[in-house]
Structure 1
Amino acid sequence: MNDSSISEIVTRVNQLPDIDESVDVSWVGASDDTAIKILENALDVNITGSFRDFILQTGGGGLEDLYISSISKDAPLSGCYEDTIHYRQDWCPHKLPDHLIVIQRDFDDNEPMCLDTSVVIDGENPVVLYYYQSTGNIEKIADSFSSYYQEFLSPYFDANDI
C-alpha cells in the first residue's frame, strides 16, 4: 500500500459520512507548533513526521471507531497528554516508558497505540503497540503514523470505494 500524505488521508476520511451515514467524523480543529511544543516539553519528547503533520492539520480526532488522541491548540495538556499520563500511573502493571506517547487509547483499557519518540527513521516516529497488562513489551506496528492510519482506515475506504 502506498503511503499517502496526511492531507490525502484526511480528505478521504471527510468523504466517508457523505457515502455512509453510519460513519461519524469529528476533528478537534487544527493545532499549532506552540501547542505541540507545550506537550513535548511536558512529556520530554520530540514528535516528528506525519503524526505532527496530522496534529497540525486536524488537532486529532477522526472516526469515532478510530479516534486519534488530540493535541488541541486551546488545551495542549489534554487528549494525548492525559492519555499518556494515564498509562504512566502506579495502577499499570507495566508503566508506559517515557519515550512512548499514546496516540490511540481504548477506553476499555486495552493496550494503547503509541508513538515511539526515541526512534526517528526518515523523519518519522514509528507506531507501536504497548503491552502494559502482560509483558511490558513493545511491538512495532508501522514505520510511520501515516502508514498506520491509512492501514487501519483501509476497510472503511475499501467498503466505500474511496
Structure 2
Amino acid sequence: MIKEWATVVSWQNGLAQVHCDVKSSCNSCASRAGCGSRVLNKLGPQTSHTIVVPSAQPLIAGQKVELGIAEASLLTSALLVYMSPLVGLFIVASVFQVLFSSDVAALCGAILGGVGGFLIARGFSANLATREAWQPVILSVGLPPDELRIAE
C-alpha cells in the first residue's frame, strides 16, 4: 500500500474532497544547480491535486487524512501508460519497414504505433479507473484542526 497524507477541502454525502501536495526532493540535494529533474519540476505548473474519496465518517475542512492506494494498481497503470505506446511504436515501425522497405515508412509507422498505443492506453485506463481496487481509500483520520489545543 502506498500512503500519502492529504488535507480535507470539503465533505458532503459520504464523499470527501481532499487536497494532496506534490512533493519533490529538489530542495535537499547538493547538486541543485546542475540537476535536470529540478528543471523539469519547474516546467510543470501543477503542484497539487484535488481528488474525491469516499468516507463514511464526517470530516471537517482542514482535517488531515492518510490516503492509500494498492501498489499493484499503481504499477499496472504505470506499465500500461509507458509500455503501450512503446510496444505500438516498435511493432508498427517494424511492420512498415518490412512492408515498404523504407526508413521514411518506418518513421511514419513508429509515429502511428506510438499514437495508437497511447490511444489504447487511454481507452483501457478509463475502464480500469472505475474498479474499486484502483481507487484511493482513507486509511486513517487525524484530529480536526480545532480539537488540538496547547495550554501554556
Same fold, judged at TM 0.5 (above): no
Please indicate the TM-score interval, normalised by the length of the shorter structure. under 0.3
Give the structure with the higher percent helix: 2
Give the structure with the higher percent strand: 2
The TM-score with structure 2 as length reference comes to: 0.25
The TM-score with structure 1 as length reference comes to: 0.24
